[in-house]
Amino acid sequence: MRSIPVIVVGFGPVGRAFVRLMTEKSNDLREKYQLELKLKAILRSTSAYVISEPESPDLDSLEKINNPDYWQEKPSLDSLLDQTPPGAVIEVTSSDLKTGEPGFDHIRTSLEKGWHVVTANKGPLLLYFSELMRLASSKNLKLKFSGATAAALPALDVGQICLAGSRILKIEGILNGTTNYILTRMAEGLSYDEALGEAQQKGIAERNPAYDVEGMDTAVKLALLAAALFDLKINIKEMEITGITAVSQEEVVQAVSQGKKIKLLATLSLENESVKARVRPEMIASDHPLFWVDGSNKGLSFFTDTMGELTITGGKSDPRGAAAAMLKDLINIYRSF
């Protein structure tokens, strides 16, 4: 049995879901993977829950974690990392696409101190991908980020593990559940505003939906996939990005009347050594591999030189799905995937 100290940095919906999953899955982790995840600390912006002797969280500890009386003033991550033998840091603070902070500092410090890192935080990866990957590799450590690319949809695993040895020539995906939900409901007769309102009511869309509906979330995920799968640094400012705000109900209904659908597609292709990356609404026909990806589902097609075309679809699109993708990354680190 391997005992792995775990520090969770960030305790929003994803951090909470991760700690709960550690508890729910502890038997499976022991029996199937011979892993015992021992919680050392949880950090929020100003407070921390710290355990002097790291333990596997159970229902009692979950109750304590949810009781503010057990929280203390936040020590530095630096000092916590020095208190036990290295394990894994789960970095789930808010994503800042302009500075990458505080995630960048957390990830860099953790790697420097010999800890593996699993993150769902897009900001630091978008801005410092090569630097962080180089640092991880120089320390013989892993930095995994399934939660940042399409959460439970195993985009990175398929691209990096299942398609090993094959050249990926193009990827095309529906990478944002919110916009796909809105377009699906518009195809069923709602106006854009009605569909957005419904998505907000169901907790699928944020109260400020700009990041999703203007295509930025999709573009960032595409840039991360480009970095991981194609070793390409794509400047988001130079990418063609069109969201769904200008898609009219008439256009969507017209597409339906022709047996087609409008989807927000992210495309990255290599043509004659030049790279094309774009995000835009496109009309697709029923023979398109992503035609049936509806509601808040996501999907990704890979076009390869030797393995043909392969499409993955579905995957839970919420904090628990993102946390589960992170738990998968953690397990795979310790079985050397």
Ligand X SMILES: NC(=O)c1ccc[n+]([C@@H]2O[C@H](COP(=O)([O-])OP(=O)(O)OC[C@H]3O[C@@H](n4cnc5c(N)ncnc54)[C@H](OP(=O)(O)O)[C@@H]3O)[C@@H](O)[C@H]2O)c1
Site string for ligand X, 37-76 (x = CB under 6 A): ------xxxx------------------------------
Beta strands 88-91 and 116-119 are: parallel
Q: How far is CA 256 from each of CA 173, 217, 244, 262, 321, rounded to the nearest angstrom?
A: 20, 26, 17, 8, 31
Q: Are 126 and 239 in contact (CB under 8 A)?
A: no
Handedness of CA 200, 203, 205, 211 (dihedral sign): positive
SS3 147: helix
Nearest distance in Å: CB 196, ligand X? 18
Site string for ligand X, 128-167 (x = CB under 6 A): -------------------xx--x----------------
Cβ proximity to ligand X, 14 vs 182, nearer residue: 14
Nearest distance in Å: CB 106, ligand X? 7
Q: Is 120 in the site for ligand X (CB under 6 A)?
A: yes
SS3 255: helix
Asked if 170 is an active-site residue, the reply is no
Q: Is 99 in the site for ligand X (CB under 6 A)?
A: no
Q: Is 110 in the site for ligand X (CB under 6 A)?
A: no
Q: Is 121 in the site for ligand X (CB under 6 A)?
A: yes
Residues 6+ apart with CB under 8 A from 284: 260, 261, 262, 263, 265, 290, 291
Cβ proximity to ligand X, 76 vs 137, nearer residue: 76
Q: Is 176 in the site for ligand X (CB under 6 A)?
A: no
What is the full DSSP assignment across 160-201? IIITTTSPEEEEEEE--HHHHHHHHHHHTT--HHHHHHHHHH
Q: Are 290 and 265 in contact (CB under 8 A)?
A: yes
Among the options 38, 40, 144, 221, which is catalytic? 221
Q: Is 94 in the site for ligand X (CB under 6 A)?
A: yes
Interaction site with ligand X (CB under 6 A): 9-15, 43-46, 92-95, 102, 120-122, 147-148, 151, 318-319, 322
Q: Which residues are catalytic?
A: 221
